[in-house]
Every structure is written in structure tokens, then in C-alpha cells.
Amino acid sequence: METTQPFTVLAVDDNPVNLKLMESSLVKEGYRVISASNGPRARELSVAEKPDLILLDIRMPGEDGFEVIRFLKDNPVTGTIPVIFLTAYAEINSKLRGFDLGAVDYITKPFHPLEVLARVGIHLKLSIATNSLIAEQARKLGQITEAQNAMLPLAEELPWARFGVYYKALEEAGGDFYDILNISDQITGYFVADFSGHDIKTSYMTAAIKALLAQNCSPVYSPLESMKMINDVLVEILTDGKYLTACYVWLNRSTGKLCIISAGHPPVVHIPKGKDPEVIRLDGDILGMFKDARFGIHRIPVAPGDRLFVYSDGLVESVKRKITWATGAESLVEKFKEVRDVPFCDAPTALMETIFDKGEIPEDDVVVLCVEV
């Protein structure tokens, strides 16, 4: 018959009598107890054993309990372990300092075993409840992430669209979004957007945008008309200052015509086959903010083998280095040269590896779309 894994309590006290009293009381009630008589040993056991709760004496020779709590709360491995401190002092300052450093409760020495048992039980129950709540929230956020990712088309599922993509959200509710539109047998639409904010409401908006694209991007509307109609709807439904930047690329492979519509989005990079990259800068109002918004528009002829890179500002912006997408786009031209001969399906990932050093994390969500004519 299987038994439930006992809760582990770390008891820390320089007085061996106190340690023995705590250990015997807790073991009788089914707890697993490990003990330490000094601060360094307490830190070592905390990391190695990851106890469910710590009873920590404040006044110890050498490294006191305050230093131990500070270590525990600064260490991600032990930061969430509840700490009850033991003190023979009734001064309010000692208690307040312990709470400020992250302790959840205190017991004044000399203590009664029944009080120790009661407080340990209470805070283990609170810890269980808190961890369950965190796990449930993580599960729900995971579902949102899965749902959001499910709305993003995969390159291998749409071979006719001839695109490669890199997508990375820094948080569960990503603010970047892209979509591929089969407007007709000859015309394909490519849409990249960046929502303001990264909250849960933002993640739900991706479904609304996807529906608006499907309804308004058709052969009977020009690319500019499609964007204007989408903007008119977003102005009505977006609240609390929400908006998005976007780039809509309309490509007719049979006629070799390409149209770019920009709504306050970073520049597009065009790489004609066998030639150097060129940055296409377009002015334009953001989506969802102004009823009479004006968008940047650029039309160019294209030929088989030409490429277009559409990306979100997370590729080029850096708050740390004080780089905006307006100034950062030009600095990436050499990076685009390095990947122009990489197969288009792999080019976005290769570009990310070229721009960011191994282990370096972008400061924002990133979408990079490479389209080959």
C-alpha cells in the first residue's frame, strides 16, 4: 500500500535542545524533519532538500537568521519556501525586519510544541493553496498560449504561400501576430501585427483580427480598402487606448505585382534576387486609433526569387541600447545580406541567430516573416 510523501520541515537553531524538541514534536505528527545548527548549513540544506517549510532561529552566532532569510528569498530555488522565524526577543523591530525580509510568521521562544505544530500546519495549508492557485493560473495561461499559437499558420501547412517564419512570445499572452491569406489562386496576403500590451485581452484580440482579415481581404477589395475597413471596425471595438501596428503585404505572383500597406509598422526589407537588400520605409497611422487613419502604401514589381522580410519591432528595438525600430532597421542591412542565400523557410531563424548572440534573449515578442516570390 502506497503512503503519502511526508512534508519536509527544516528546523534551524543553534540550541540542540530546541532542535530536539521541534524534531520530536513534528516527527510524531508525520512530518519529515531535517535540522541545522547554523546559517551556512541551513542555506546548504535549503537548496539541496527544498523543504516545504523552514523554522528559523533569528539569533545565531556568526550568520544570523536575517542573513539566511535574505539568501533564501533571493534564490529562485528557495524563494517560495515559507519561513517561520523563532525569536526570544519581543521587540517589534525584530519582528518587522523578519516580515520585511519575507518571513510568513514568528514564534517567540521559549515555545510550546503545540504552538509549533499549529503554525506549521496553518502555513503548509496556505502554501498548498497558493501553489495550487499558481498551478491553475499557469494551466489556464498555457491554454491561452496554445489557443493563440493554434491560430498562427505553419509554413509546412501552406507550401503554396512560400514563406518561412520565426515566432517567439516572451510572455504567455503574446502581443505579436501574423496570418497568411489565400485571397485567390494567384494572390496571397501576408499580415504581421504588433498589439500594444501583453495582457490576456490582447491574446483574445488575435481571434478578432484573424476574423476581420478573412472577411475583408478578398479580390474585390484593394489592399488599402481592406486595411481601411479593418481599421474602422477596430476603432469601434478597441478600448483603453489599445491599438496595433501592422504591415499587410499583397502579392500577385501571376502578374508580378506587390503592394505593401503599413500602419505605423517597422520598415519592410526587400531583397531582389541576386541584389543587395533595400529598406522600404513607409509612414502610416496605427490601426484602431483613428477613424480617418492614413496608411503608407508602396507598390513594386517583383520577380521569382525575390524576397521580402516583414517583422515586428522586437527584432530591431532595444531599450537597453536605446535603439528604436526607426533607427535600427538600417543597421540590420548587413545581417539580411548574410541570410539571402539561406532557403526562405529557414531564413527567419537564421536571421535571429545572426542578430542575437547565443543565449541572448530579445527584449520583446518577435515575428519574422520571409516571403519568396
DSSP characters for 147-158? HHHHTSPPGGG-
Give me the pLDDT at residue 200, please: 52
pLDDT at residue 68 tops 90: yes
DSSP-assigned letter for residue 115:
H
pLDDT digits (tens, 9 = 90+) for 183-192: 999 999 999 9
Instruction: Find all residues with CB under 8 Å of 71, minimum gap 6, and list them.
Output: 43, 78
329-337 long-range Cβ contacts below 8 angstroms, 24+ apart: 329/266, 329/267, 329/269, 329/279, 329/281, 330/279, 332/269, 333/269, 333/276, 333/277, 333/279, 336/269, 336/271, 336/277, 336/309, 337/276, 337/277
C-alpha dihedral sign at 236, 242, 245, 246: negative
Burial of residue 127 (number of CB atoms within 10 Å: 0-12, 13-18, 19+): middle
pTM of the shown model? 0.62
Give me the pLDDT at residue 204, please: 63
Residue among 268, 263, 269, 254 at smallest CA distance from 286? 263
Instruction: Find all residues with CB under 8 Å of 299, minimum gap 6, and list them.
Output: 257, 258, 259, 260
Instruction: Find all residues with CB under 8 Å of 34, minimum gap 6, and list them.
Output: 8, 9, 10, 11, 45, 49, 51
Q: Where are the domains of the chain?
A: 8-142, 151-372
pLDDT digits (tens, 9 = 90+) for 276-305: 999 999 989 998 888 888 999 999 999 999
CATH superfamily ID and name for 151-372: PPM-type phosphatase domain (3.60.40.10)
Give me the pLDDT at residue 259, please: 96
Please state, in angstroms and as integers, the Cα–Cα distance from residue 106 to each residue in 37, 40, 113, 159, following that order. 18, 21, 14, 64
Residue among 366, 324, 326 at smallest CA distance from 349? 366
CATH class of 8-142: alpha beta
Cα angle 350, 268, 346; round to 5? 20
How many CA atoms lie within 13 Å of 77's alpha carbon, on the beta-carbon side? Answer: 10
Residue among 204, 106, 69 at smallest CA distance from 148? 204
Where residue 372 falls among pLDDT bands split at 50, 70, 90?
Answer: very high
Pairwise CA distance, residues 297 & 280, whole Å: 10
Pairwise CA distance, residues 348 & 48, whole Å: 41
pLDDT at residue 18 tops 70: yes
pLDDT digits (tens, 9 = 90+) for 152-208: 888 888 999 999 999 887 655 557 888 999 999 999 999 999 887 655 556 567 777
Ramachandran class of 264: left when φ > 0, alpha when ψ lies in -120 to 50, beta otherwise: left
DSSP-assigned letter for residue 321:
T
Which amino acid does the sequence have at 113?
P
Q: What is the mean pLDDT of the chain?
A: 85
